[in-house]
Chains A and B, each alone.
Chain A
Amino acid sequence: MSKDNKNYINNIDDLIDSAANEAVSELFDNIDKSIDDSDISFSENHTVAIDNILKISNVEKPHKAHIGINKKILLIAAVISIIVATAFSVDAVRNKFGEYFVNTHQHNTDLNLDEEITPDNYSLLKNKYKPDLGYIPQGFHLDFTDSSGANYIVQYIKDDKCFSVCKSKMPDFHSIDTEDPNAERIDINGFDGFFSIQNDINILTWTIDDIMYTVESNLDKETIVKIAENLK
């Protein structure tokens, strides 16, 4: 069909539509004009029937647009369910999904007994546990520091000598081998301390309130005690 012919048909169809509109309006205009109110009276049966129709119509009809939307939602939900069910039937997908929640490669579960560390209290805890050394033997310099929030370690070094000081939250359970023949009780500024030697490393541990202090070093006992006594 040529473009001209198409346009021509459209013109004819427009003409038909226009004539159809006029025809129906004329038809109903004539009927409207011919209505004489005194002419028309409905029977009692008709009035009852209309009343019943009105009563039934008061029951809300589901809105078609919403039915359409709900059908779409149900259809989408069904499609998603099928996709998920199909994906989960594959072992590899199921395992991958599970790894988001559980680390399947880890053989044990870490339990954090420390104070709960959050981004908000991290700085606060770090300052609380940071050891303030009042005495550092001559020639030693800071080797490294490490902090996880509820504990703080500093290590000083000089040639082959070193010492580390750890200040941390007192663990719920902490045991000291009092039967160790190399161990002895030492008073640190009025607090009970415990000195021991393990693998040629001298270890001094004491607690003040809920904080545990540890000094480990290959330095002699007197130097370690001096470091401990000057710790704030």
Chain B
Amino acid sequence: MLFFTPDADRSKRIEIIYNKYCKFMYKVAYDILKEKYYAEDAVQQSFIRIINNLDKIGDIESQKTRNFIGLITRNISIDIYNSRKKQSDAIGDDITENPDNDLSAIIIKKETVANLKKYINELKPIYYIPLVMKAQGYSVNEIADTLGINSKTVQKRIERARAVLYKKMREDI
């Protein structure tokens, strides 16, 4: 009695999510994997991950939900991609354990802001997804739960992602 919560809407909600976002998920996956078979595999794995994190989904129609589903799919697609072929051209490998977080040298210019989105998109996926999820308002624990990794790792990856961006912004000056 105490251990199970009856939720009659749960399965209905899962079906609605799948019907609404299955093509979107497929497209996110296909853009990375470029093969139907692997894209479908990514959709299936993502769907299971979404079901396991259903409590983090509020309004099904909202942009936040779409981005959450997109990020899960993208993360899994990249994992599948990496398992097939080691991705080596993303930035983020050049970060030291103790990145220089001195931001005094950064002067926010119009170009810096414009470039920031480009730098974010260029981030290595392991940094990109935690950073974007944090920006979307998810806590470190929620991100860790969703991605199936340790919360300390998530925190470290967000810090590293920011360090890369600080560095890039300084170089812009």
Question: Which residues of A approach B to under 8 Å, CB–CB?
Answer: 5, 8-9, 12-13, 15-28, 31-32, 34-35, 37, 40, 42-43, 45-46, 49-50, 53-54, 57-58, 60-64, 66-67, 69-70
Contact = CB atoms under 8 A, between A and B. Distances in A.
B131 A35 contact: no
Given A66-B2, A66-B3, A23 B121 contact: yes
Interface in B94-114: 101, 103-104, 106, 108, 113
A75 to B, nearest CB: 14
A9 B40 contact: no
28 contacts: A5-B104, A9-B101, A16-B135, A19-B116, A19-B117, A19-B120, A20-B120, A23-B120, A24-B67, A24-B132, A27-B70, A27-B121, A28-B66, A28-B67, A34-B27, A42-B22, A43-B36, A50-B44, A53-B48, A54-B11, A54-B15, A54-B18, A57-B11, A60-B4, A62-B3, A63-B5, A63-B7, A70-B3
A28 B28 CA distance: 8
Given A28-B67, A57-B10, 14 more contacts: A12-B103, A21-B136, A25-B67, A28-B28, A34-B27, A35-B23, A35-B24, A35-B27, A50-B22, A61-B10, A62-B5, A66-B2, A67-B3, A70-B3
A61 B2 CA distance: 12
User: Most chain-B CB neighbours within 10 Å: which of A15, A27, A54, A70?
Assistant: A27
A17 B134 contact: yes
Given A15-B113, A70-B2, A53 B47 contact: yes
Contacts of B63: 25
Contact of B5 (A49, A58, A66): A66
B172 interface: no
Contact of B66 (A22, A32, A58, A70): A32
Interface of B: 2-7, 10-11, 14-15, 18, 22-24, 26-28, 31, 36-37, 40, 43-44, 47-48, 51-52, 55, 63, 66-67, 70-71, 101, 103-104, 106, 108, 113, 116-117, 120-121, 131-132, 134-136, 162, 165-166, 169
Interface residues of B: mostly helix, strand, loop or mixed? Answer: helix
Contacts of B47: 50, 53
A12 B106 contact: yes
A31 B14 contact: no
A53 B15 CA distance: 10
A58 B9 CA distance: 10
A184 B82 CA distance: 118
A17 B43 contact: no
A148 B162 CA distance: 86
Contacts of A32: 24, 66
A13 B101 CA distance: 11
A26 B121 CA distance: 11
Given A21-B136, A22-B117, A54-B11, A40 B40 contact: no
A17 B134 CA distance: 8
B18 A50 contact: yes
